[in-house]
């Protein structure tokens, strides 16, 4: 199937790189977002997200005339839906963005078009939600137009490379839809393109992230056990991983981002009677910020009220600016609820605004009057902080390291008391 013009709906961490990559591959692309500030910014060459290399790619795509930014979809050969799928407080999937994006396509949907859902969704979303909405056009999915699901499977910080190099899964409502999706993504994908049905493709994405979540949960439980038994979890993991069939992940302050911390709940929602392990792993990882708070409390002699904590790093993983579902943010909020005064610093998003949090623009300001330094994210610039420098900038002599980012011996040599997740050796 031949494509000349496509429309990408949702210009976030996935939609914008996808739209720009299609455009630089020579297709005429309309990038759509309902947020007028995002649209105005992009039209002026300003990005609302950080991803290495993305600014250059977007600006080149717009300058070439192949990428236009709009607030509403326009007629096209193919439509790609890449909007967020958050969840409600009760952990049910919030598909309002998916529904709205799908509805916006209906007025411009034409016979022979392809519609692809990329948003991570519960099983059967493509068949049971997207297809009926699109069929309000009077056209039938799999007969008059093609419909497929193709999950994004990229790592923040590596998105531009992985969009092209990673294997791509295309699940169609019928074989012709899957093949049409293959023809579209073959425009730029160099990795293997695997065809299947839509619900299988939805399940693949959820399984991948759930697998990671469960493995992180056992690492986090191990860290709590090590703390209880008085051993060093980092040493213990290093030794255990010398076994040829063991690969234990590292513990941390929790699990965040818009995939691993969200997707398992979609399976729990769809089949609560079959997912006790998945639900438990989610609860373990969601509870890790509380463990961090207790570690900070112990480090400060059991007293948090009135203590000033420098919370270093707020994103959900190192060297990205994505704060969605971040356990670091949750830990900062919990510390404040416990009576601590928190000054937070995020080197990759110094202008971040989070309700209820005092986020300062520099590291020096964050640690200037701190009682303790709390390393929540292993950002490169934070890991590279030298204790000699820190000792000149802060009166704090208590370090709480949740990611094993700072060598304890080095800091201890300059008078700092170092506390780490999963370490309580006598």
Residue 312 has pLDDT above 80, yes or no: yes
Known catalytic residue at 7: no
pLDDT band at 153; cut points 50, 70, 90? confident
Rounded to whole angstroms, what are the CA distances from 18 to 53, 94, 180, 199? 13, 23, 17, 22
Averaged pLDDT, 375-379: 98
Residue 311 has pLDDT above 80, yes or no: yes
How much is the pLDDT for 155?
83
Averaged pLDDT, 328-347: 97
Q: Looking at 72, 140, 190, 205, which residue is catalytic? A: 205
How much is the pLDDT for 259?
85
Averaged pLDDT, 64-91: 94
Residue 86 has pLDDT above 80, yes or no: yes
> How far apart are the C-alpha atoms of 109 and 123, rounded to whole Å?
24
Interval 217-258: pLDDT, tens: 999 999 999 999 999 999 999 999 999 999 999 999 999 988
**Domains contained in the chain, CATH given:** 5-197 (3.40.50.720), 230-420 (3.40.50.720)
> How far apart are the C-alpha atoms of 425 and 412, rounded to whole Å?
15
Mean pLDDT lowest for which of 60-69, 82-91, 169-178?
82-91
Residue 31 has pLDDT above 90, yes or no: yes
Averaged pLDDT, 99-121: 97
pLDDT band at 156; cut points 50, 70, 90? confident
How much is the pLDDT for 414?
94
How much is the pLDDT for 144?
98
- Quick check: 87 and 120 in contact, CB under 8 A? no
pLDDT band at 319; cut points 50, 70, 90? very high
How much is the pLDDT for 425?
66
Averaged pLDDT, 329-337: 97
pLDDT band at 148; cut points 50, 70, 90? very high
Q: Looking at 7, 259, 343, 420, which residue is catalytic? A: 259
- Quick check: 174 and 228 in contact, CB under 8 A? no
How much is the pLDDT for 90?
87
pLDDT band at 2; cut points 50, 70, 90? very high
**Residue 82: other Cβ atoms inside 10 A:** 26
φ/ψ (deg, to 5) at 314 = -125, -15
Residue 121 has pLDDT above 80, yes or no: yes
pLDDT band at 424; cut points 50, 70, 90? confident
The secondary element (H helix, E strand) that includes residue 134 is helix 131-134
Rounded to whole angstroms, what are the CA distances from 122 to 100, 119, 149? 17, 10, 12
The secondary element (H helix, E strand) that includes residue 34 is none
Interval 385-397: pLDDT, tens: 999 999 999 999 9
> How far apart are the C-alpha atoms of 282 and 265, rounded to whole Å?
8
pTM: 0.89
How much is the pLDDT for 286?
96
How much is the pLDDT for 50?
84
| Distance between first and last Cα of the chain | 67
Q: Where are the alpha helices (DSSP H) in 230-374?
A: 233-240, 263-270, 276-299, 327-337, 363-367
Residue 63 has pLDDT above 80, yes or no: yes
Percentage with pLDDT > 70 across the chain: 100
Q: With DSSP H G I counted as helix, E B as strand and the rest as coil, what are the percentages for the chain, rounded to 5? A: 40, 15, 40
Residue 426 has pLDDT above 80, yes or no: no
How much is the pLDDT for 239?
98
Q: For strand 168-172 and strand 146-149, is the pairing parallel, antiparallel, or unpaired?
A: antiparallel
Known catalytic residue at 425: no
């Amino acid at each position: 199937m031949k494509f000349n013009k496509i429309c990408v709906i949702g210009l976030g961490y996935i939609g914008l790189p996808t739209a720009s990559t299609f455009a630089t591959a020579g297709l005429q692309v309309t990038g759509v977002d309902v947020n007028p500030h995002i649209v105005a910014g992009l039209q002026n060459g300003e990005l609302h997200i950080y991803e290495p290399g993305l600014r250059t790619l977007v600006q080149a795509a717009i300058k070439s005339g192949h990428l236009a930014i709009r607030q509403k979809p326009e007629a096209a050969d193919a439509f790609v839906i890449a909007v967020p799928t958050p969840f409600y407080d009760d952990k049910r999937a919030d598909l309002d963005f998916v529904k709205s994006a799908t509805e916006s396509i209906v007025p411009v949907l034409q016979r022979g078009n392809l519609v692809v859902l990329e948003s991570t969704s519960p099983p059967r979303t493509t068949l049971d939600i997207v297809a009926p909405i699109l069929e309000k056009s009077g056209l039938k999915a799999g007969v008059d137009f093609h419909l497929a699901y193709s999950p994004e499977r990229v790592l923040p910080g590596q998105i531009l490379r992985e969009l092209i190099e990673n294997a791509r899964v295309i699940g169609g409502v019928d074989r012709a839809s899957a093949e049409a999706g293959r023809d579209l993504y073959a425009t730029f994908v160099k990795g293997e393109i695997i065809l299947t049905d839509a619900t299988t493709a939805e399940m693949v994405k959820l399984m991948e992230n759930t697998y990671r979540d469960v493995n992180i949960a056992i690492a986090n439980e191990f860290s709590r056990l090590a703390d209880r038994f008085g051993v060093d979890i980092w040493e213990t993991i290093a030794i255990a991983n010398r076994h040829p069939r063991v690969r234990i992940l590292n513990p941390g302050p929790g699990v965040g981002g818009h995939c691993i911390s969200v997707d398992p709940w979609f399976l729990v929602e769809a089949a609560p009677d079959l997912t006790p392990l998945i639900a438990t792993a989610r609860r373990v990882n969601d509870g890790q910020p509380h463990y961090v708070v207790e570690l900070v409390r112990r480090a400060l002699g059991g007293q948090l009220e009135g203590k000033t904590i420098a919370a270093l790093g707020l994103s959900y993983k190192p060297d990205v600016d994505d704060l969605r579902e971040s356990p670091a943010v949750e830990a900062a909020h919990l510390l404040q609820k416990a009576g601590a005064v928190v000054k937070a610093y995020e080197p990759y998003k110094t202008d971040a605004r989070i309700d209820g949090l005092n986020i300062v623009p520099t590291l020096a300001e964050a640690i200037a009057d701190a009682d303790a330094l709390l390393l929540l994210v292993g950002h490169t610039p934070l890991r590279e902080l030298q204790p000699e420098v820190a000792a000149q900038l802060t009166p704090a002599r208590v370090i709480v390291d949740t990611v094993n980012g700072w060598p304890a011996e080095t800091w201890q040599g300059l008078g700092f008391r170092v506390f780490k997740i999963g370490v309580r050796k006598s």
